[in-house]
Amino acid sequence: MDPSGVFPTSYRSDRRLIRTRWQFLALVVFMALLLLAPYLVSSRIIAILNMMMISAVIAVGLQICTGYAGQINLGQAAFMGVGAYTASILASKTGLTFLLTIPLAGLSAALFGFLFGLTAARIKGFYLALTTIAAQFLFHFAVLNLPSTWLGGSNGITVPPAELFGLRFVSESSQFYLNFAVTAIMVAGAFGIVRSRFGRAFVAVRDDDVAAGIMGINVAATKANAFLIGAFYAGVGGALWAYLIRFVGVDQFTLFHSIFFVAMIIVGGMGSIVGALIGVFIIRIIQEIIATVGPNIADSVSFLGGDIVFAGMNVVLGGVIALFMILEPKGLMHRWNILKSSYRIWPFPY
Amino acid sequence: MVYFINDIITGALIGLLYSLVAMGFVVIYRASKVFNFAQGELVIIGGFIVWFTTMQAGLSLWLSIPLSLVLAGLVGYAIERIFLTKLIGESVFSMVMVTVGLLILLRGLVLLVFGPAVRPFPIIFPLKPLFLGDMLIPMNLLIGGIITIVAAVGLSWFFNRTRSGLRMTAVAEDHVVASSMGISVKGSIAVAWVLGAILSTIGAMIFLSGKSLTFLASDIGFAALPVALFAGLESIGGLILAGIIIGIAQSLTTNYLDPLIGGSLGSVVPYIIMLAILLIRPTGLFGWRTIERV
């Protein structure tokens, strides 16, 4: 709900995303701080921000597919992998500029996702989630078993840095601006998608697909679209990942990574783009803490060795998913909305 | 020709092992409408319980096997009490997401508690294979296959013929309707998880007997997933047929097609079959066909 004194007087103003002057101001300050971040904070934090922004693109895609359209997707990491491999092959073999490879990576991932989404024409409910697991396995199989000159096999592929007008995106801060630009475009696009007729169709299908069908929505096409859009975001994120790490290997895109993305949208809150961003922020910080603390613990508990980071991440994130599903299935965004509306109507109870 | 028949028999027996693990999926689904993504982790926990009671505690097999089954049942009950009871009345979506969380939580816990080390697993079934003319049949798979068929017949009778089995079937149809008919949804889900954990432990014994045990053995959960879907998630008897078909297909691909193409197509054949069956007949061979009225 809006603060008192803000009344939309037209349909147009009712659909607005930025509703008050303060919200506009907050957005400008937030974006300005992000833009200035490379001058304000250390390069270690910039590296973390880079990972956060890439994860944000992928998690927003998953949010559209799972949070808005209600389709459980356990193959987001495979879709990301398809994008990453497309971008790295195009960049290393044909030398295309990243201005082309990133959208093409998104498109190829979208195509791959759409193929699995197409099964929605025949399959309903959880069976659909299982085809995304099949996507995960087929992706691994394809990379590891196709001739290694195609996809690099188990050796992976080295990616040349992104380049524009002789400027090479090598340093953390230059990559930061590349990621920032792409993430800003993708997130703004997501806000547009979920407010459009497609987004409303997603929500209708999520809430009740039989009812949605009666209202004239093509349910199967809507589900396939949800996978298409979700996979497109994953592919773009994967391409950014390829340019950031400059190396892609099949181990970077496992079922566990898919579940980490699921954890992000559950923590943030299903059905909210901002929620996805909050979830990315929190989960990435947790992962960063475990990755920093883990090796220190590993020194004292020696029999675990290097697996402690992986094990700890699984325990913490699995626990977080279960806890949130039990205690607050609507996520942190829901809590925040309750808080916001209660201070806006204070001192009245409702 | 002898080798060909031998491959078919071995494949069918491996398929029956998949059926047994898949039975864990189906039993939990049949009694609670929850698809348990963490089935493979239940297998590995069962494996570690067996390893602990025999190799660590040093009990004889006759004592440790029943004890392991009881302990596994308790673990299943504990998981159900801690994570799933609280979600009764919430959407099935939440319950499924919790099992996805459980998948990585249990994987991490097993790693933290037992570490990545490779451990010897007790020899439960005789190592010496059965020689049938020129053919060679692994003993553990043969006994395992018989156990699977017995378990399938027994559970299928339980769910389709007995009063308490039919009650659980009602829970799988609809939680709200079942509980308004006076059926305990809570009790049904608890029984489902206890049974699921026990079946997984039996599966672990057959699968790992005389081999080595690491946390990676949980991959059998995902290998068994296509069998459950091929049979249809509600059918216990159908698992036998589905397991045999998938096992034979996988064995033949591994032995005859893979050397030709030089890859490991055998490991994804079950998934290709699964995708095909989902497209042609989404409810599987013997699954319930739900009719949606509006």
For residue A235, is pLDDT > 90?
yes
Give CA–CA dist B180/B178, Å, rounded. 5
Residue-wise pLDDT for B38-49, tens only, equals 988 999 999 999
A122-136, A273-287, B57-71 — most confident range: A273-287
B83/A326 touch (CB, cutoff 8 Å), yes or no? yes
Question: What's the pLDDT score for residue A116?
Answer: 83
Residue A233: which pLDDT band, with cuts at 50, 70 and 90?
very high
Kindly identify which residue of chain B lies nearest to residue A258, measuring between CA atoms.
B100
Mean pLDDT within B151-173:
89
For residue A176, is pLDDT > 60?
yes
Give CA–CA dist B156/B288, Å, rounded. 14
Render A57-112 in DSSP notation, one character per residue: HHHHHHIIIIIIT----S-HHHHHHHHHHHHHHIIIII---HHHHHHHHHHHHHHH
Determine the residue type at B105.
L
Residue-wise pLDDT for B257-283, tens only, equals 877 776 677 778 888 888 888 778 777
Give CA–CA dist A92/B253, Å, rounded. 35
Question: What's the pLDDT score for residue A303?
Answer: 62
CB neighbour burial string for A168-181, b if at least 16 within 10 angstroms, e if fewer? ebeebebbbebbbe
Question: What's the pLDDT score for residue B262?
Answer: 66
At residue A208, the 3 state secondary structure works out as coil
B132 bridge partner residues = B135
Partner residue opposite A318 with nearest CB, options B101, B229, B275: B101
Domain B1-293 adopts which CATH fold? ABC transporter involved in vitamin B12 uptake, BtuC (1.10.3470)
Residue-wise pLDDT for B71-124, tens only, equals 999 999 999 999 888 888 777 778 888 998 999 999 889 888 887 788 888 888
B278 touches chain A (CB under 8 A): yes
Chain B nearest-CA distance from A30, in A, is: 33
Residue A17: which pLDDT band, with cuts at 50, 70 and 90?
confident
User: Scanning the structure block, which residue is given the tokens 């309750």?
Assistant: A338
Lowest mean pLDDT among A127-131, A290-294, B25-29, B153-157: A127-131
Determine the residue type at A82.
V
Render B125-164 in DSSP notation, one character per residue: S-SSPEEETTEEE-HHHHHHHHHHHHHHHHHHHHHHHSHH
A263/B278 touch (CB, cutoff 8 Å), yes or no? no
Question: What's the pLDDT score for residue A33?
Answer: 93
Joined together, the tokens standing for residue A286 give 């947790």
Question: What's the pLDDT score for residue B89?
Answer: 77
A221 bridge partner residues = none
Question: What's the pLDDT score for residue A125?
Answer: 65
A325/B87 touch (CB, cutoff 8 Å), yes or no? yes
Give CA–CA dist A103/B252, Å, rounded. 41
Of A163, A61, A52, the closest CA to residue A112 belongs to A61
Percent pLDDT > 70 in chain B is 97
Of B108, B218, B100, B98, the closest CA to residue A290 belongs to B108
B278/A123 touch (CB, cutoff 8 Å), yes or no? yes
B104 touches chain A (CB under 8 A): yes
Joined together, the tokens standing for residue A87 give 């971008």
B220 touches chain A (CB under 8 A): no
Question: What's the pLDDT score for residue A304?
Answer: 60
pTM: 0.89
For residue B292, is pLDDT > 60?
no
A312/B294 touch (CB, cutoff 8 Å), yes or no? no
Joined together, the tokens standing for residue B155 give 């559970």
Residue B294: which pLDDT band, with cuts at 50, 70 and 90?
very low
For residue A57, is pLDDT > 80?
yes
Mean pLDDT within B31-38:
86
Joined together, the tokens standing for residue A311 give 């094990």
> Would you tell me how many other CB atoms lie within 10 Å of the CB of residue B143?
18
The pairs formed by B116-120 with CB atoms below 8 angstroms and a separation of 24 or more are B116/A304, B116/A305, B116/A307, B116/B214, B116/B215, B117/A303, B117/B214, B118/B212, B118/B213, B118/B214, B119/B51, B119/B55, B119/B212, B119/B213, B119/B214, B120/B55, B120/B212, B120/B213
Question: What's the pLDDT score for residue B32?
Answer: 83
Question: What's the pLDDT score for residue A293?
Answer: 83
For residue A253, is pLDDT > 80?
yes
Of B248, B62, B65, the closest CA to residue B145 belongs to B248
For residue A30, is pLDDT > 90?
yes
B212 bridge partner residues = B120
Q: How many residues does chain B have?
A: 294
A322/B98 touch (CB, cutoff 8 Å), yes or no? yes
Question: What's the pLDDT score for residue B57?
Answer: 83
B282/A127 touch (CB, cutoff 8 Å), yes or no? yes
Residue-wise pLDDT for A178-199, tens only, equals 999 999 999 999 999 999 999 9
Contacts of B78 (CB under 8 A, 6+ apart): none
For residue B70, is pLDDT > 50?
yes
Best of A215, A325, A334 to mutate (most B CBs within 10 Å, chain B) = A325
Determine the residue type at B130.
L
For residue A210, is pLDDT > 90?
no
Residue-wise pLDDT for A60-69, tens only, equals 999 999 999 9
Joined together, the tokens standing for residue B43 give 């297998």
Average pLDDT, chain B: 86
Phi first, then psi: what are they for A9, rounded to 5°? -110, -5
Residue-wise pLDDT for A31-55, tens only, equals 999 999 888 888 889 999 999 999 9
Give CA–CA dist A50/A46, Å, rounded. 6
Give CA–CA dist A66/A64, Å, rounded. 6
User: Scanning the structure block, which residue is given the tokens 């993504």?
Assistant: B37
* Helices within chain A (DSSP H only): 11-14, 21-40, 43-62, 76-89, 98-118, 126-145, 148-151, 172-195, 197-207, 209-214, 219-245, 255-268, 273-300, 307-327, 331-345
Domains in chain A: ranges and CATH: 32-343 (1.10.3470)
B109 touches chain A (CB under 8 A): yes
Mean pLDDT within A298-321:
78
Chain B nearest-CA distance from A111, in A, is: 17
Question: What's the pLDDT score for residue B223?
Answer: 83
Residue A12: which pLDDT band, with cuts at 50, 70 and 90?
confident
Question: What's the pLDDT score for residue A278?
Answer: 94
Residue-wise pLDDT for A105-163, tens only, equals 999 999 999 888 887 767 766 677 778 888 888 888 888 877 777 777 777 888 888 77
